[in-house]
Amino acid sequence: MKNTLSIVIPCYNEEPVIKETLCQIETLVNDIKNEFSLNTEVILVNDGSTDRTFEILLESVKKFPFLRIVNFARNFGHQIAVTAGMDASHGDAVVLMDADLQDPPQVVLQMIKKWKDEHYDVVYATRTRRPGETIFKKVSAQLFYRTLNSLSDTPIPLDTGDFRLMSRRVVEVLNASPEKDRFIRGMVSWAGFKQVSLPYQRSERFAGETHYPLKKMLALAFTGIMSFSTKPLRLASLLGFCASLFAFVGLFYALSIKLFTDTWISGWTSLILAILFLGGVQLLCIGILGEYVGRIYMNSKDRPLYLVEGFYGYDNKGPHFSRSPVGLEDVRN
């Protein structure tokens, strides 16, 4: 029986927008109740905000009975905050969305309809327009999704972020995955089940600034590629083969000149270029290997994914977690 829904919203320095977000979420919760008769919980994960986001959330818990807060001990990043929200959820389906209102809350109603009526396990929102974003960000986003999809061993939908609805069985698969470098949209594609795209027009950010500058975008891109592809390792092997072939051809050419002519290849330029070329190939290959080894090292330490300062809006027992985060005993109403 599909009668409960969890909405997970990670929050990081969302003071300019969070009040408006909560107002629109309240409208959404009422619409869900009236149209689908679902009981909804909204889990807001405060990812170590340094502004008044947490204070505003604490005030809102008293006003909105459907609100739940998971407060991190420090900033752990967007993908980990989403993971914590899924860990704390107990709905028959879980919706992931951001707090900046670029993901229109009313699109969730269309997701629920496909989940309930057409029995899809995953309904992912695909962006058809991205108003309010710079040309550079639009072009880089298109390049990122297409590069990732071409390199990934698992097909990942184009122009699709984390805004989506997932059934409980998909959420349980993700919660059971122990990996530290999490790329949620890739993990959902890897999980499989019955999935469908829901096209939508993304809205402009209501207020504030984006929390995904170029540096974080590149980090997320590397995480996606390294987590779902071994092709960079094959690239290292291919570069090594090409460098060896190039060196062999050069050696053959040098010996031919020496044996069949009265001249010999001289000069420092060709020697320096060869050294720089081979050195660059070696450093690139070592760098690729280092990225994979570093991720293996981080996973081998087996530290918890996140640390929780407290839970707010729950009863005295607190949320039921799939994994046991440090700080679970600190439950506050």
Per-residue pLDDT of the chain (333 residues; tens, 9 = 90+): 578 899 999 998 888 888 888 988 999 989 898 888 888 999 999 988 888 888 899 888 888 888 999 999 888 888 889 998 998 888 889 999 988 888 888 889 989 989 888 888 999 888 877 665 666 666 766 676 676 666 666 777 777 778 889 999 889 888 888 777 788 888 888 888 888 888 888 766 545 555 555 666 666 666 666 666 666 766 666 766 676 667 667 667 666 766 667 666 566 556 666 676 777 777 777 777 777 777 777 667 777 888 888 888 876 555 555 555 544 444 444
Rounded to the nearest 10°, the torsion over CA 211, 215, 216, 219 is 180
pLDDT at residue number 282 = 73
Tokens 């070696």 locate to: 282
Of 210, 190, 204, 187, whose CA–CA distance to 86 is shortest? 187
Of 273, 187, 293, 182, whose CA–CA distance to 233 is shortest? 293
Q: Can you read off the two tokens belonging to residue 180?
A: 């530290």
Of 95, 100, 81, whose CA–CA distance to 10 is shortest? 81
pLDDT at residue number 331 = 42
Question: Could you please report the per-residue DSSP string of 224-274?
Answer: HHHHH--HHHHHHHHHHHHHHHHHHHHHHHHHHHHHHSS-----HHHHHHH
Tokens 């069949």 locate to: 260
Task: Give 270's contacts (C-beta < 8 A, 6+ positions apart).
Answer: none
pLDDT at residue number 306 = 86
Phi, psi of 88, rounded to the nearest 5 degrees: -85, -10
Amino acid at 68: R
For residues 280 and 239, the answer to whether their CB atoms sit within 8 Å is no
Q: What is the pTM of this model?
A: 0.70
CB burial of 9-40 (b: ≥16 within 10 Å; e: otherwise) equals bbbbbbbbbbeebbeebbebbebbeeebebeb
